[in-house]
């Protein structure tokens, strides 16, 4: 709770203030460098809020997923971006450890936001698929986030901290994360996770604010 309070009271407000100040400057002096700085601050705000939600989950995984989707769709509507966001399937939210569910949602939501923010896609598809396992319930699930945007070359590296954060989050729940892309696209993020996993590594995510 102490960490959550610090994030809420002392990290997010100055980030928002800095973003507003930079936007005011950019309105007078358009500059690509300012745009990049604003983008980094927006990412820091989003990840700080993600950490806050992860530290103090207030609802179930299914409700949290619905809330994140609504936020993304509202943002798209406000920006007037004609992006088709297609969601197929669903994991067994009721059987997932709450912290694991929150982490899965954060990774998927970040993948969607990365695509919208950097790849200029016309469509983003999210698909949850149970993998072959022992009956009666699927144990392992795979979720893919595919966009038809501009893509990038993973071999050339990237300066997007969002990808590193996704990898750390996947590691914290023992999940496998794979990102496949190339210039011209598409980009496919694949997350494979165990529905019976526990979030033993979640506490390490508090260190990601550094």
pLDDT class of 205 with cuts at 50, 70, 90: very low
β-pairing verdict for 123-130 and 84-88:
parallel
- Report pLDDT digits (tens) over 118-176: 899 999 999 999 988 766 666 889 999 999 999 988 766 544 567 877 888 899 899 99
- Of the candidates 68, 64, 55, 101, the one whose C-alpha atom is nearest the C-alpha of residue 207 is 55
Element (H, E) at 126: strand 123-130
- Of the candidates 12, 54, 64, 72, the one whose C-alpha atom is nearest the C-alpha of residue 169 is 54
Question: CA-to-CA distance for 25 and 33, rounded, in angstroms?
Answer: 12
pLDDT class of 51 with cuts at 50, 70, 90: low
Contact 85, 124 (CB under 8 A): yes
Contact 156, 129 (CB under 8 A): no
pLDDT class of 14 with cuts at 50, 70, 90: confident
Provide the residue ranges of all domains of the chain, joining segments of one domain with +.
1-56, 60-209
CATH class, range 60-209 = alpha beta
């Amino acid at each position: 709770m102490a960490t959550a309070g610090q994030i809420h009271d002392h990290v997010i407000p100055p980030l928002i203030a800095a973003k507003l100040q930079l936007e005011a400057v950019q309105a007078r002096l358009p500059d690509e460098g300012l745009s990049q700085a604003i983008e980094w601050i927006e990412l820091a705000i989003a990840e700080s809020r993600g950490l806050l939600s992860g530290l103090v989950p207030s609802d179930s995984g299914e409700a949290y997923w619905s809330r994140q989707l609504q936020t993304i769709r509202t943002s798209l509507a406000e920006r007037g971006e004609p992006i088709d966001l297609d969601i197929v399937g669903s994991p067994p939210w009721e059987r997932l450890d709450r912290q694991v569910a929150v982490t899965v949602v954060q990774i998927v939501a970040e993948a969607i936001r990365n695509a919208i923010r950097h790849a200029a896609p016309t469509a983003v598809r999210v698909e949850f698929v149970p993998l072959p396992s022992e009956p009666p319930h699927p144990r392992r699930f795979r979720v893919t986030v595919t966009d038809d945007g501009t893509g990038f070359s993973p071999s050339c590296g990237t300066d997007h901290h969002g990808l590193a954060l996704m990898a750390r989050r996947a590691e914290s729940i023992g999940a496998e994360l794979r990102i496949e892309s190339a210039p011209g696209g598409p980009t496919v993020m694949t997350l494979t996770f165990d529905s019976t996993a526990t979030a033993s590594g979640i506490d390490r995510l508090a260190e990601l604010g550094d």
